[in-house]
């Protein structure tokens, strides 16, 4: 599959005075915007693309992929003479700002302003997610840059890939009418839209007809907050999955964007999950969620995406246990959105579900009830309960798929991922029901994982206790016992299952009772402290 590098070589002898800027040129300009020119263009200096590429090629840290691109640009009589000016590159980790743009002098009567997308910095990615709950500093910088650069007597094309397209949209939405008339076209490459929960997006209507929107078949980032902007080009890519976001993988055919017939159904399922999750969490919940998640990642030592390792992941997992209730709720809603789609919010807000997820008393009562169930109910019934739950999930997915098919007027192609998922779930549920041993193995695995997670929670509780105390000893004992039971449950044979059921039941009852007692003691201490504070305040008054 040919890419923009092949396009640059193919048209290398045809200048922009002969052939005007088109949608493929806009993709090339976005690729140029990712050049690191901080040490090359200083103090308002201008250089041609050819000169910039020559200086970059002298460096040793250029990847083979970028070296090929820069060599093609350097040799091109179409892109090489284009003048790069007004270069801006701002990075402030503490303020969460990653902003870059440039003005390209294409012809005497035409300039192209391009905003760069996200680099590989953690701060840059955090700023991307911030657009879902606040107006970012990068968007404000883009607005000011655009206002200053548009001058009379010259026409402008505006573009950007990923976050760069989002910055372009915001800046244009705020631009005064006289300057907006000088904008010919707006090129957006897999760019997320403007969040209507954060800002008034009615300004998009003033230039909506000028937009040329391009997204790959597997588009997730470019499908966020689509703002009813139609897709002009559904692009084929040589990459798989989310990696199609990289514009250097986009297909070019005889100087034109290589298009696909339909979006990737797998991406549609991801987009539906993301849209459902965004609809279920408020802007305040989004802010706390993303702020705390990125803080956890950075506390693990990562500053760039490539530096995310086991320490960063461990930092996030540990941090989630200490995070705010809003963040924990937001995390819990992700699998809910994936399973239940648009109905996740209704299920989440059911009175019983809300009571269990918000009340420590409810959690401990559930543990006691589960322990009594292990003691009193035959283990075979517990397996049947797991089987019923699996069947219910399969039926729910089938109903959701039917609803989607009705909404899309029975578009079997577009919904084939959901249809295939329903077939897999239905077959899995049938297999679980008719195969006795299979149902036992599945229920053992589920309960084993439950006990091992419970052991992990107690281990974390033990680590939180600074000094050895009754609570610390209790956590240590429980973590060992639940870990032992969890491993035994996962690996045990059917004839030994009655032993672990009784032991597990006793442990759960003991754990839930201890939690209730601890909660009552903590509540009494809080009340006494509050009463003492009130009395002290009255005495001083």
- pLDDT band of residue 315 (cuts 50, 70, 90) is low
CATH architecture of 4-263: 3-Layer(aba) Sandwich (3.40)
- Provide the whole-model pTM: 0.72
Cα–Cα distance between 260 and 285 in angstroms, integer?
37
Q: Where are the alpha helices (DSSP H) in 223-340?
A: 265-280, 283-299, 310-322, 325-340
pLDDT tens readout for residues 503-538: 777 888 888 888 777 767 666 666 666 666 666 666
Q: What is the structure's pLDDT at 93?
A: 81
Of the two residues 319 and 48, the one the predictor is more confident about is 48
Mean pLDDT of 443-468: 79
Contact 532, 525 (CB under 8 A): no
For CATH 3.40.50, the residue range(s) in the chain are 4-263
Cα–Cα distance between 156 and 141 in angstroms, integer?
19
Mean pLDDT of 283-308: 77
Determine which of 179-193, 297-311, 379-393, 521-535 has the lowest per-residue pLDDT on average: 521-535
Percent helix / strand / coil, the chain, rounded to 5? 65, 10, 25
Mean pLDDT of 398-411: 78
Look at strands 256-257 and 252-253 and give their pairing. Answer: antiparallel
Of the two residues 465 and 27, the one the predictor is more confident about is 27
Question: What is the SS3 assignment for 276-309?
Answer: HHHHHCCHHHHHHHHHHHHHHHHHCCCCEHHHCC
Q: What is the structure's pLDDT at 516?
A: 78
Judge residue 494's burial from the number of C-beta atoms within 10 Å of its C-beta, 0-12 exposed, 13-18 middle, 19 or more buried. Answer: middle
Query: Over the chain, what is the mean pLDDT?
Result: 82
Segment (H or E) for 382: helix 379-407
Look at strands 211-216 and 233-235 and give their pairing. Answer: parallel
Backbone region of residue 245 per phi and psi (left: phi > 0; alpha: psi in -120 to 50; beta: other values)? alpha
- % of the chain residues with pLDDT over 70: 80
Largest CA distance in the chain: 90
pLDDT tens readout for residues 370-399: 777 776 666 555 666 677 777 877 887 788
Q: CA 153 → CA 178, 181, 244, 495, distances in Å?
A: 12, 11, 38, 87
């Amino acid at each position: 599959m040919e890419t923009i590098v092949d396009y640059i070589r193919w048209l290398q002898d045809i200048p922009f005075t002969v052939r005007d800027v088109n949608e493929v040129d806009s993709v090339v300009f976005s690729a140029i915007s990712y050049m690191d020119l901080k040490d090359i263009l200083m103090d308002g200096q201008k250089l041609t693309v050819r000169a910039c590429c020559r200086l970059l090629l002298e460096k040793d840290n250029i990847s083979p992929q970028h070296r090929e691109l820069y060599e093609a640009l350097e040799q091109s009589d179409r892109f090489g003479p284009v003048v790069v000016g007004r270069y801006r590159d701002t990075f402030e980790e503490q303020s969460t700002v990653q902003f870059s743009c440039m003005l390209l002098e294409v012809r005497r009567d035409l300039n192209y302003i391009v905003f760069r997308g996200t680099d590989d910095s953690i701060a840059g990615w955090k700023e991307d997610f911030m657009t879902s709950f606040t107006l970012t500093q990068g968007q404000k910088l883009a607005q000011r840059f655009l206002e200053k650069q548009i001058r009379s007597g010259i026409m402008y094309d505006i573009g950007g890939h990923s976050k760069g397209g989002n910055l372009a949209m915001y800046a244009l939405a705020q631009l005064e009418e006289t300057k907006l008339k000088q904008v010919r076209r707006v090129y957006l490459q897999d760019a997320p839209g403007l969040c209507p929960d954060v800002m008034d997006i009615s300004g998009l209507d003033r230039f909506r007809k000028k937009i040329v929107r391009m997204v790959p078949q597997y588009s997730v980032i470019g499908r966020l907050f689509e703002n009813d902007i139609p897709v002009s080009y559904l692009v084929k890519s040589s990459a798989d999955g989310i990696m199609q976001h990289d514009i250097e993988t986009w297909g070019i055919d005889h100087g034109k964007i290589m298009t696909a017939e339909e979006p990737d159904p797998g991406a549609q399922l991801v987009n539906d999950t993301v849209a459902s999750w965004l609809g279920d969490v408020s802007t305040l919940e989004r802010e706390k969620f993303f702020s705390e998640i990125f803080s956890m990642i950075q506390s693990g030592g990562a500053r760039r995406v490539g530096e995310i390792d086991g320490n960063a992941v461990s930092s996030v997992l540990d941090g989630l246990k200490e995070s705010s209730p809003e963040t924990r709720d937001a995390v819990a809603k992700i699998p809910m959105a994936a399973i239940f789609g648009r109905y996740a919010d209704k299920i989440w807000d059911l009175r019983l579900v809300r009571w269990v997820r918000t009340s420590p008393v409810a959690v401990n009562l559930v543990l006691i009830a589960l322990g009594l169930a292990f003691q009193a109910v035959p283990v075979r019934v517990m397996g049947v309960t797991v089987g019923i739950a699996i069947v219910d999930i399969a039926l729910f997915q089938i109903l959701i798929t039917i609803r989607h098919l009705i909404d899309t007027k029975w578009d079997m192609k577009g919904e084939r991922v959901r249809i295939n998922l329903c077939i897999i779930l239905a077959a899995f549920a049938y297999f679980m029901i008719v195969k006795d041993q299979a149902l036992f193995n599945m229920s053992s695995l589920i309960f084993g994982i439950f006990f091992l997670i419970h052991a992990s929670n107690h281990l974390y509780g033990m680590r939180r206790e600074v000094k050895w105390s009754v609570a610390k000893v209790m956590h240590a004992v429980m973590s060992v016992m639940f870990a032992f039971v969890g491993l035994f449950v996962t690996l045990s044979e059917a004839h030994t299952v009655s032993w672990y059921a009784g032991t597990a039941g006793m442990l759960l009852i003991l754990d839930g009772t201890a939690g209730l007692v601890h909660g009552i003691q903590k509540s009494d201490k809080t009340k006494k402290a509050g009463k003492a504070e009130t009395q002290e305040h009255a005495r001083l008054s």
